[in-house]
Amino acid sequence: MKVKFSASQLKAWQGCALRASFIYVDKMDRYSVGSSAHFGTCVHLALENFHNGVDLDSCIQIFRDAYDEIEPDYYNQRTSRSRFLDMGPKMISDYADSVSWEDHITLGSEFRFMVPFGSHTISGIVDHLHVSSNGKTVYVDDLKTGKRPNMDSLHLDLQMTSYDWAIRQREFWVGVESDDPDWPDKYCGLSNGDELFEKYKDAEIVVRWVDLKKPEFVNVGKRDEFDYARLYRMMEMIDRAVETKTFVPCISADTCKFCEFKDICPVWVDPPVRVSDFEESTGKEEW
């Protein structure tokens, strides 16, 4: 079966196969936006504008306007509106400072792609695609507002492997037909994609995890046939799980905490109310 995988889908399947099956197989729409995800979207929007030549002050305003446009469905632990409204402008300014020395040419920002991968396809969004001015190195930067890179396993990160594969494919540059009738130019490629593909096909590819909290630019390392095979096997196993309807729940505290499907998950059990929670909700003393 030919299946299209995006980086976020792979992440969902890795997190909990049962939850992923509710979303991608049963197509249950229970989409909710947490405060951290909303914050990330707003920073990305500001930096997309920055990469496209908008001045820093206007980018910060874009961030503020976008943040106040919607109210998140819930606030993640240790987050608040005021904290994010302080953090956002600082993150954007620090990033702008840190890239000011980089001698590069931006090719794309928030650039959507879809490329073949054996009998499957991979889609995704590159936050910042740029090339050194001597044309020898093409960078794929993934901008992260929250999660810090785990240096011990970064060389195995499947999202980064999918970028590394994608950028080496002609379809990445020239685009492919959209699979969305309401969005015909979804994967339109770059305007001179053929020429750019030829020009950069022998360039060094560097995929970087950009930790915006510092900011720090971490090269995720080279990928080879082993990494592509690993990614492909993961897709084949997901494919098989869908065919056989075998979805093992993860039962992990981290993933379950914000899961939208707790009410229909057969392994979820509400945790007992702790004494401190009881006191908070009732105002009563311990008994």
**Cβ of residue 76: shortest distance to ligand SF4, in angstroms?**
16
The span from the CA of 39 to the CA of 53, in Å, is: 22
Residue nearer to ligand SF4 on the CB measure, 203 or 234: 234
The span from the CA of 146 to the CA of 215, in Å, is: 12
Residue nearer to ligand SF4 on the CB measure, 268 or 278: 268
The span from the CA of 108 to the CA of 282, in Å, is: 54
Q: Tell me which residues in 95-154 interact with ligand SF4 (CB under 6 A).
A: none
Q: Tell me which residues in 268-287 interact with ligand SF4 (CB under 6 A).
A: 268
Which residue from 214, 19, 243, 206 is spatially nearest to 130, judged by alpha carbons?
206
**CB-based contact 72:84 (threshold 8 Å):** no
Q: Tell me which residues in 209-268 interact with ligand SF4 (CB under 6 A).
A: 249-251, 255-256, 259, 261-262, 265, 267-268
Find the angle CA(161)-CA(165)-CA(170) to the nearest 5 degrees: 160
Residue nearer to ligand SF4 on the CB measure, 53 or 266: 266
Q: Tell me which residues in 16-75 interact with ligand SF4 (CB under 6 A).
A: 16, 18-19
Which residue from 172, 169, 155 is spatially nearest to 227, judged by alpha carbons?
155
Q: Tell me which residues in 3-22 interact with ligand SF4 (CB under 6 A).
A: 16, 18-19
Site size toward ligand SF4 (CB under 6 A) is 14
Strand partners, 204: 137
**CB-based contact 197:132 (threshold 8 Å):** no
Residue nearer to ligand SF4 on the CB measure, 23 or 46: 23
Q: Using CB under 6 A, list all residues that contact ligand SF4.
A: 16, 18-19, 249-251, 255-256, 259, 261-262, 265, 267-268
